[in-house]
A and B are shown apart, each in its own frame.
Chain A
Protein backbone atom coordinates (compact mmCIF):
# COMPACT_ATOMS: atom_id res chain seq x y z
CA UNK A 1 0.00 0.00 0.00
CA UNK A 2 2.73 2.45 0.95
CA UNK A 3 5.28 1.63 -1.74
CA UNK A 4 3.50 -0.69 -4.18
CA UNK A 5 0.38 1.43 -4.79
CA UNK A 6 2.34 4.53 -5.91
CA UNK A 7 4.34 2.34 -8.30
CA UNK A 8 1.08 0.87 -9.63
CA UNK A 9 -0.47 4.33 -10.07
CA UNK A 10 2.63 5.52 -11.91
CA UNK A 11 2.66 2.43 -14.15
CA UNK A 12 -1.06 2.59 -15.01
CA UNK A 13 -1.03 6.34 -15.71
CA UNK A 14 2.21 6.16 -17.71
CA UNK A 15 1.10 3.22 -19.86
CA UNK A 16 -2.37 4.69 -20.46
CA UNK A 17 -0.89 8.03 -21.57
CA UNK A 18 1.40 6.24 -24.03
CA UNK A 19 -1.34 3.93 -25.33
CA UNK A 20 -3.96 6.69 -25.76
CA UNK A 21 -1.54 8.51 -28.09
CA UNK A 22 -1.90 5.68 -30.62
CA UNK A 23 -5.71 5.47 -30.44
CA UNK A 24 -7.27 8.26 -32.51
CA UNK A 25 -10.74 7.70 -31.03
CA UNK A 26 -13.07 10.21 -29.39
CA UNK A 27 -13.01 8.33 -26.07
CA UNK A 28 -9.22 8.24 -26.07
CA UNK A 29 -9.01 11.97 -26.82
CA UNK A 30 -11.57 12.75 -24.11
CA UNK A 31 -9.53 10.66 -21.67
CA UNK A 32 -6.38 12.60 -22.63
CA UNK A 33 -8.09 15.96 -22.10
CA UNK A 34 -9.49 14.90 -18.72
CA UNK A 35 -6.14 13.62 -17.48
CA UNK A 36 -4.43 16.78 -18.75
CA UNK A 37 -6.92 18.90 -16.74
CA UNK A 38 -6.29 16.77 -13.66
CA UNK A 39 -2.55 17.07 -14.25
CA UNK A 40 -2.80 20.87 -14.23
CA UNK A 41 -4.94 20.82 -11.09
CA UNK A 42 -2.49 18.55 -9.24
CA UNK A 43 0.34 20.82 -10.40
CA UNK A 44 -1.52 23.84 -9.00
CA UNK A 45 -1.72 22.10 -5.60
CA UNK A 46 2.01 21.38 -5.78
CA UNK A 47 2.52 25.11 -6.33
CA UNK A 48 0.58 25.75 -3.11
CA UNK A 49 2.87 23.26 -1.37
CA UNK A 50 5.93 25.08 -2.74
CA UNK A 51 4.55 28.45 -1.69
CA UNK A 52 3.84 27.01 1.77
CA UNK A 53 7.49 26.02 2.00
CA UNK A 54 8.54 29.51 0.88
CA UNK A 55 6.40 31.05 3.62
CA UNK A 56 7.74 28.56 6.17
CA UNK A 57 11.37 29.42 5.34
CA UNK A 58 10.82 33.18 5.47
CA UNK A 59 8.59 32.98 8.54
CA UNK A 60 11.35 31.10 10.35
CA UNK A 61 13.81 33.85 9.37
CA UNK A 62 11.47 36.52 10.70
CA UNK A 63 10.69 34.74 13.97
CA UNK A 64 14.37 34.01 14.64
CA UNK A 65 15.37 37.49 13.49
CA UNK A 66 18.06 35.91 11.31
CA UNK A 67 20.34 38.03 9.15
CA UNK A 68 18.28 39.93 6.58
CA UNK A 69 14.94 39.02 8.18
CA UNK A 70 13.51 42.38 7.09
CA UNK A 71 13.66 41.25 3.48
CA UNK A 72 11.61 38.17 4.34
CA UNK A 73 8.80 40.52 5.39
CA UNK A 74 8.91 41.99 1.87
CA UNK A 75 8.71 38.50 0.32
CA UNK A 76 5.76 37.39 2.44
CA UNK A 77 4.12 40.82 2.14
CA UNK A 78 4.48 40.75 -1.64
CA UNK A 79 3.08 37.23 -1.81
CA UNK A 80 0.06 37.97 0.41
CA UNK A 81 -0.61 41.26 -1.37
CA UNK A 82 -0.50 39.64 -4.82
CA UNK A 83 -2.80 36.82 -3.68
CA UNK A 84 -5.28 39.25 -2.11
CA UNK A 85 -5.30 41.53 -5.15
CA UNK A 86 -5.61 38.58 -7.54
CA UNK A 87 -8.55 37.02 -5.72
CA UNK A 88 -10.33 40.35 -5.20
CA UNK A 89 -9.87 41.99 -8.61
CA UNK A 90 -9.47 38.97 -10.89
CA UNK A 91 -6.97 38.68 -13.72
CA UNK A 92 -8.64 40.58 -16.52
CA UNK A 93 -6.75 43.23 -18.47
CA UNK A 94 -6.65 46.57 -16.65
CA UNK A 95 -7.15 45.16 -13.13
CA UNK A 96 -4.77 46.08 -10.32
CA UNK A 97 -3.39 42.54 -10.49
CA UNK A 98 -2.37 42.92 -14.11
CA UNK A 99 -1.04 46.46 -13.46
CA UNK A 100 1.27 45.04 -10.79
CA UNK A 101 2.32 42.31 -13.18
CA UNK A 102 2.99 44.80 -15.97
CA UNK A 103 4.70 47.56 -13.97
CA UNK A 104 6.39 45.64 -11.17
CA UNK A 105 6.98 42.03 -12.10
CA UNK A 106 7.84 42.38 -15.79
CA UNK A 107 10.34 45.25 -15.23
CA UNK A 108 11.93 43.41 -12.32
CA UNK A 109 12.32 40.23 -14.34
CA UNK A 110 13.60 41.98 -17.49
CA UNK A 111 16.08 44.05 -15.45
CA UNK A 112 17.38 40.99 -13.61
CA UNK A 113 18.02 39.18 -16.89
CA UNK A 114 19.55 42.29 -18.46
CA UNK A 115 22.01 42.46 -15.53
CA UNK A 116 23.55 39.36 -17.04
CA UNK A 117 24.62 41.45 -20.03
CA UNK A 118 27.26 42.99 -17.74
CA UNK A 119 28.40 39.79 -16.07
CA UNK A 120 28.41 37.78 -19.27
CA UNK A 121 31.25 40.06 -20.45
CA UNK A 122 33.58 38.81 -17.72
CA UNK A 123 32.44 35.24 -18.38
CA UNK A 124 33.18 35.79 -22.07
CA UNK A 125 36.69 36.97 -21.27
CA UNK A 126 37.42 33.71 -19.46
CA UNK A 127 35.70 31.51 -22.05
CA UNK A 128 37.07 33.26 -25.11
CA UNK A 129 40.78 33.12 -24.41
CA UNK A 130 41.92 31.33 -27.56
CA UNK A 131 44.18 28.75 -25.94
CA UNK A 132 43.13 25.73 -27.97
CA UNK A 133 41.60 25.09 -31.39
CA UNK A 134 38.23 24.37 -29.75
CA UNK A 135 38.29 27.61 -27.73
CA UNK A 136 39.24 29.52 -30.89
CA UNK A 137 36.27 28.04 -32.76
CA UNK A 138 33.99 29.00 -29.88
CA UNK A 139 35.43 32.52 -29.94
CA UNK A 140 35.02 32.94 -33.71
CA UNK A 141 31.47 31.58 -33.75
CA UNK A 142 30.40 33.81 -30.85
CA UNK A 143 32.03 36.96 -32.23
CA UNK A 144 30.61 36.43 -35.73
CA UNK A 145 27.16 35.76 -34.24
CA UNK A 146 27.29 38.91 -32.12
CA UNK A 147 28.55 41.07 -34.97
CA UNK A 148 25.99 39.58 -37.32
CA UNK A 149 23.15 40.71 -35.08
CA UNK A 150 24.10 44.39 -34.95
CA UNK A 151 24.37 47.10 -37.65
CA UNK A 152 28.06 47.59 -36.77
CA UNK A 153 28.79 44.08 -38.10
CA UNK A 154 27.21 44.99 -41.42
CA UNK A 155 29.30 48.17 -41.62
CA UNK A 156 32.48 46.19 -40.91
CA UNK A 157 31.76 43.76 -43.73
CA UNK A 158 28.38 43.46 -45.38
CA UNK A 159 28.65 39.64 -45.53
CA UNK A 160 28.94 39.17 -41.74
CA UNK A 161 25.15 38.94 -41.11
CA UNK A 162 24.90 36.26 -43.83
CA UNK A 163 27.82 34.28 -42.35
CA UNK A 164 26.26 34.56 -38.88
CA UNK A 165 22.97 33.23 -40.24
CA UNK A 166 24.81 30.39 -42.00
CA UNK A 167 26.61 29.41 -38.78
CA UNK A 168 23.31 29.48 -36.94
CA UNK A 169 21.44 27.34 -39.47
CA UNK A 170 24.21 24.87 -40.41
CA UNK A 171 27.06 23.91 -38.02
CA UNK A 172 25.15 25.23 -34.99
CA UNK A 173 21.99 23.41 -36.03
CA UNK A 174 23.98 20.19 -36.62
CA UNK A 175 25.42 20.33 -33.09
CA UNK A 176 22.02 21.23 -31.62
CA UNK A 177 20.37 18.33 -33.45
CA UNK A 178 22.96 15.90 -32.11
CA UNK A 179 22.36 17.19 -28.59
CA UNK A 180 18.56 17.23 -28.96
CA UNK A 181 18.47 13.65 -30.27
CA UNK A 182 20.77 12.50 -27.45
CA UNK A 183 18.70 14.29 -24.83
CA UNK A 184 15.50 12.89 -26.36
CA UNK A 185 16.78 9.32 -26.14
CA UNK A 186 17.79 9.97 -22.54
CA UNK A 187 14.36 11.38 -21.71
CA UNK A 188 12.58 8.38 -23.22
CA UNK A 189 14.75 5.87 -21.39
CA UNK A 190 14.27 7.74 -18.09
CA UNK A 191 10.51 7.91 -18.64
CA UNK A 192 10.43 4.16 -19.36
CA UNK A 193 12.47 3.45 -16.24
CA UNK A 194 10.02 5.51 -14.16
CA UNK A 195 6.93 3.86 -15.65
CA UNK A 196 8.35 0.36 -15.21
CA UNK A 197 9.33 1.10 -11.62
CA UNK A 198 13.08 0.72 -12.19
CA UNK A 199 13.63 4.35 -11.23
CA UNK A 200 11.67 4.95 -8.04
CA UNK A 201 13.56 7.70 -6.24
CA UNK A 202 10.46 9.93 -6.42
CA UNK A 203 8.83 7.75 -3.76
CA UNK A 204 11.56 8.73 -1.32
CA UNK A 205 12.96 6.71 1.52
CA UNK A 206 11.23 5.15 4.49
CA UNK A 207 8.46 2.57 4.56
Chain B
Protein backbone atom coordinates (compact mmCIF):
# COMPACT_ATOMS: atom_id res chain seq x y z
CA UNK B 1 0.00 0.00 0.00
CA UNK B 2 1.32 3.40 -0.99
CA UNK B 3 -1.05 6.06 0.39
CA UNK B 4 -1.20 9.34 -1.49
CA UNK B 5 0.35 12.32 0.35
CA UNK B 6 -1.73 14.77 -1.72
CA UNK B 7 -4.52 16.38 0.41
CA UNK B 8 -6.57 17.01 -2.75
CA UNK B 9 -6.58 13.29 -3.56
CA UNK B 10 -7.69 12.58 0.03
CA UNK B 11 -10.50 15.10 -0.30
CA UNK B 12 -11.65 13.59 -3.61
CA UNK B 13 -11.45 10.07 -2.13
CA UNK B 14 -13.45 10.97 0.97
CA UNK B 15 -16.13 12.69 -1.09
CA UNK B 16 -16.27 9.65 -3.38
CA UNK B 17 -16.80 7.41 -0.35
CA UNK B 18 -19.46 9.81 0.98
CA UNK B 19 -21.43 9.39 -2.26
CA UNK B 20 -20.96 5.60 -2.30
CA UNK B 21 -22.26 5.41 1.28
CA UNK B 22 -25.70 5.86 -0.29
CA UNK B 23 -25.46 2.22 -1.42
CA UNK B 24 -25.99 1.27 2.23
CA UNK B 25 -28.78 3.80 2.80
CA UNK B 26 -29.49 7.53 2.68
CA UNK B 27 -27.25 9.10 5.31
CA UNK B 28 -25.84 12.48 6.43
CA UNK B 29 -22.51 11.94 4.63
CA UNK B 30 -24.25 11.41 1.30
CA UNK B 31 -26.56 14.36 1.86
CA UNK B 32 -23.68 16.64 2.78
CA UNK B 33 -21.72 15.64 -0.34
CA UNK B 34 -24.82 16.03 -2.50
CA UNK B 35 -25.57 19.54 -1.17
CA UNK B 36 -21.93 20.51 -1.55
CA UNK B 37 -22.08 19.40 -5.17
CA UNK B 38 -25.17 21.55 -5.85
CA UNK B 39 -23.61 24.65 -4.28
CA UNK B 40 -20.23 24.26 -5.95
CA UNK B 41 -21.79 23.56 -9.36
CA UNK B 42 -23.96 26.67 -9.21
CA UNK B 43 -20.94 28.76 -8.22
CA UNK B 44 -18.76 27.13 -10.86
CA UNK B 45 -21.14 27.91 -13.73
CA UNK B 46 -21.65 31.51 -12.61
CA UNK B 47 -17.91 32.13 -12.51
CA UNK B 48 -17.34 30.37 -15.86
CA UNK B 49 -20.09 32.41 -17.54
CA UNK B 50 -18.71 35.60 -16.06
CA UNK B 51 -15.21 34.98 -17.43
CA UNK B 52 -16.28 33.46 -20.76
CA UNK B 53 -19.33 35.52 -21.70
CA UNK B 54 -20.20 38.55 -19.56
CA UNK B 55 -16.71 39.94 -19.02
CA UNK B 56 -15.26 39.59 -22.55
CA UNK B 57 -18.49 40.25 -24.47
CA UNK B 58 -20.12 42.95 -22.33
CA UNK B 59 -17.88 44.49 -19.67
CA UNK B 60 -14.77 44.91 -21.83
CA UNK B 61 -16.53 46.28 -24.96
CA UNK B 62 -18.78 48.56 -22.89
CA UNK B 63 -16.38 50.00 -20.32
CA UNK B 64 -12.99 49.64 -22.00
CA UNK B 65 -13.82 50.06 -25.70
CA UNK B 66 -16.83 52.33 -25.37
CA UNK B 67 -19.16 50.17 -27.48
CA UNK B 68 -22.46 51.47 -26.13
CA UNK B 69 -24.51 48.88 -28.02
CA UNK B 70 -23.29 46.26 -25.54
CA UNK B 71 -25.50 47.86 -22.90
CA UNK B 72 -28.52 46.16 -24.56
CA UNK B 73 -27.78 42.57 -23.41
CA UNK B 74 -26.87 43.95 -19.99
CA UNK B 75 -30.22 45.73 -19.73
CA UNK B 76 -32.07 42.67 -21.03
CA UNK B 77 -30.28 40.60 -18.41
CA UNK B 78 -31.15 43.05 -15.64
CA UNK B 79 -34.79 43.05 -16.73
CA UNK B 80 -34.96 39.43 -15.53
CA UNK B 81 -34.75 40.71 -11.94
CA UNK B 82 -37.85 42.86 -12.39
CA UNK B 83 -39.73 39.64 -11.67
CA UNK B 84 -39.08 40.33 -8.01
CA UNK B 85 -40.96 43.67 -8.22
CA UNK B 86 -44.64 42.80 -8.82
CA UNK B 87 -45.59 46.22 -10.28
CA UNK B 88 -43.04 46.06 -13.08
CA UNK B 89 -42.66 42.27 -13.27
CA UNK B 90 -43.93 42.30 -16.86
CA UNK B 91 -40.69 43.96 -18.03
CA UNK B 92 -38.90 40.62 -17.52
CA UNK B 93 -40.98 39.28 -20.44
CA UNK B 94 -38.82 41.35 -22.82
CA UNK B 95 -35.70 39.41 -21.80
CA UNK B 96 -37.52 36.08 -21.99
CA UNK B 97 -38.95 37.02 -25.40
CA UNK B 98 -35.48 37.94 -26.68
CA UNK B 99 -34.01 34.71 -25.38
CA UNK B 100 -36.84 32.50 -26.66
CA UNK B 101 -37.04 34.30 -30.03
CA UNK B 102 -33.30 34.04 -30.74
CA UNK B 103 -33.26 30.41 -29.60
CA UNK B 104 -36.26 29.50 -31.75
CA UNK B 105 -34.87 31.38 -34.78
CA UNK B 106 -31.46 29.75 -34.51
CA UNK B 107 -32.91 26.31 -33.97
CA UNK B 108 -34.96 26.21 -37.20
CA UNK B 109 -32.11 26.11 -39.77
CA UNK B 110 -29.84 24.17 -37.41
CA UNK B 111 -32.48 21.52 -36.75
CA UNK B 112 -33.42 21.32 -40.41
CA UNK B 113 -29.79 20.78 -41.32
CA UNK B 114 -28.66 18.41 -38.58
CA UNK B 115 -31.75 16.52 -37.54
CA UNK B 116 -33.56 16.22 -40.84
CA UNK B 117 -31.44 16.77 -43.96
CA UNK B 118 -28.29 15.07 -42.64
CA UNK B 119 -30.29 12.11 -41.34
CA UNK B 120 -32.16 11.80 -44.63
CA UNK B 121 -28.89 12.05 -46.55
CA UNK B 122 -27.46 9.24 -44.44
CA UNK B 123 -30.52 7.09 -45.10
CA UNK B 124 -30.91 7.72 -48.84
CA UNK B 125 -28.23 5.29 -49.99
CA UNK B 126 -28.56 2.94 -52.98
CA UNK B 127 -30.89 0.19 -51.78
CA UNK B 128 -28.68 -2.55 -53.17
CA UNK B 129 -24.91 -2.36 -53.50
CA UNK B 130 -23.19 -4.59 -56.07
CA UNK B 131 -19.91 -4.12 -54.22
CA UNK B 132 -21.19 -5.62 -50.96
CA UNK B 133 -22.93 -8.35 -53.00
CA UNK B 134 -19.60 -9.35 -54.61
CA UNK B 135 -17.89 -9.33 -51.21
CA UNK B 136 -20.65 -11.58 -49.85
CA UNK B 137 -20.49 -14.01 -52.83
CA UNK B 138 -16.70 -14.25 -52.67
CA UNK B 139 -16.53 -14.53 -48.91
CA UNK B 140 -19.87 -15.56 -47.42
CA UNK B 141 -19.67 -14.75 -43.72
CA UNK B 142 -21.77 -13.16 -40.98
CA UNK B 143 -19.91 -9.86 -41.42
CA UNK B 144 -20.35 -9.70 -45.20
CA UNK B 145 -24.03 -10.67 -44.87
CA UNK B 146 -24.48 -7.92 -42.27
CA UNK B 147 -22.91 -5.38 -44.64
CA UNK B 148 -25.14 -6.61 -47.51
CA UNK B 149 -28.42 -6.17 -45.66
CA UNK B 150 -27.29 -3.09 -43.71
CA UNK B 151 -28.52 -0.41 -46.14
CA UNK B 152 -31.93 -1.96 -47.01
CA UNK B 153 -32.45 -2.60 -43.32
CA UNK B 154 -31.63 1.02 -42.53
CA UNK B 155 -34.11 2.36 -45.13
CA UNK B 156 -36.89 0.00 -44.04
CA UNK B 157 -36.12 0.72 -40.37
CA UNK B 158 -36.28 4.52 -40.74
CA UNK B 159 -39.49 4.38 -42.81
CA UNK B 160 -41.18 1.99 -40.38
CA UNK B 161 -40.04 3.91 -37.29
CA UNK B 162 -41.37 7.13 -38.81
CA UNK B 163 -44.68 5.45 -39.66
CA UNK B 164 -45.02 4.38 -36.02
CA UNK B 165 -44.95 8.09 -35.07
CA UNK B 166 -47.50 9.02 -37.76
CA UNK B 167 -50.69 9.54 -35.81
CA UNK B 168 -52.82 11.27 -38.47
CA UNK B 169 -54.23 7.92 -39.59
CA UNK B 170 -55.31 4.83 -37.73
CA UNK B 171 -52.59 2.18 -37.62
CA UNK B 172 -54.39 -0.38 -39.79
CA UNK B 173 -53.50 -2.14 -43.06
CA UNK B 174 -50.13 -1.23 -44.57
CA UNK B 175 -49.52 1.54 -42.04
CA UNK B 176 -50.36 -0.86 -39.21
CA UNK B 177 -47.89 -3.43 -40.53
CA UNK B 178 -45.18 -0.81 -40.99
CA UNK B 179 -45.68 0.63 -37.54
CA UNK B 180 -45.50 -2.91 -36.12
CA UNK B 181 -42.08 -3.38 -37.78
CA UNK B 182 -41.21 0.11 -36.50
CA UNK B 183 -41.84 -1.10 -32.94
CA UNK B 184 -39.36 -3.94 -33.49
CA UNK B 185 -36.69 -1.47 -34.61
CA UNK B 186 -37.50 0.85 -31.73
CA UNK B 187 -37.18 -1.99 -29.21
CA UNK B 188 -33.81 -3.02 -30.61
CA UNK B 189 -32.77 0.66 -30.50
CA UNK B 190 -33.91 1.07 -26.88
CA UNK B 191 -32.17 -2.16 -25.90
CA UNK B 192 -28.95 -1.03 -27.56
CA UNK B 193 -29.18 2.40 -25.88
CA UNK B 194 -29.82 0.74 -22.53
CA UNK B 195 -26.84 -1.58 -22.94
CA UNK B 196 -24.68 1.33 -24.02
CA UNK B 197 -25.76 3.43 -21.03
CA UNK B 198 -25.11 0.56 -18.60
CA UNK B 199 -21.61 0.14 -19.99
CA UNK B 200 -20.97 3.89 -19.79
CA UNK B 201 -22.01 3.90 -16.11
CA UNK B 202 -19.92 0.83 -15.37
CA UNK B 203 -16.93 2.46 -17.03
CA UNK B 204 -17.44 5.48 -14.72
CA UNK B 205 -17.60 3.09 -11.76
CA UNK B 206 -14.36 1.43 -12.88
CA UNK B 207 -12.80 4.89 -13.14
CA UNK B 208 -13.78 5.77 -9.56
CA UNK B 209 -12.64 2.42 -8.15
CA UNK B 210 -9.39 2.80 -10.04
CA UNK B 211 -8.96 6.26 -8.53
CA UNK B 212 -9.54 4.92 -5.01
CA UNK B 213 -7.28 1.90 -5.45
CA UNK B 214 -4.53 3.55 -7.46
CA UNK B 215 -4.37 7.31 -6.83
CA UNK B 216 -5.49 7.21 -3.20
CA UNK B 217 -4.53 3.86 -1.66
CA UNK B 218 -1.82 2.96 -4.14
CA UNK B 219 -2.62 -0.75 -4.01
CA UNK B 220 -2.68 -1.11 -7.81
CA UNK B 221 -0.49 0.48 -10.48
Interface residues of A (CB under 8 A from B): 2-3, 5-7, 9-18, 21-22, 34-35, 37-52, 54, 68, 71-72, 74-83, 86-87, 90-91, 97, 99-105, 107-118, 120, 124, 127, 133-135, 137-146, 149-150, 159, 162-163, 166-185, 187-188, 190-192, 194-195, 202-204, 206-207
Contact = CB atoms under 8 A, between A and B. Distances in A.
Contact of A149 (B51, B94, B96, B199): B199
Contact of B53 (A43, A49, A178, A188): A43
Given A112-B37, A124-B198, A44 B158 contact: no
B77 interface: yes
A107 B209 CA distance: 11
Interface of B: 8-9, 11-12, 15-16, 19-20, 22-23, 31-54, 57-58, 69, 72-74, 76-78, 80-81, 83, 89-90, 93-109, 111-112, 114-116, 119-120, 122-123, 142-143, 146, 150, 153-158, 160-162, 164-165, 182-199, 201-202, 204-205, 207-208, 211
Given A162-B142, A168-B192, A175-B161, 18 more contacts: A34-B69, A40-B53, A48-B46, A68-B31, A72-B35, A78-B37, A82-B42, A82-B47, A83-B43, A97-B47, A110-B207, A145-B195, A167-B192, A170-B157, A172-B188, A180-B119, A191-B105, A203-B96
Contacts of B164: 178
Sorted nearest first, the 9 A-B pairs with minimum C-beta distance are A174-B157, A178-B161, A17-B105, A82-B43, A78-B39, A45-B77, A175-B189, A184-B115, A141-B191
Contacts of A87: 47, 50
Given A9-B94, A115-B22, A134 B108 contact: no
B191 A145 contact: yes
Nearest to B78: A45
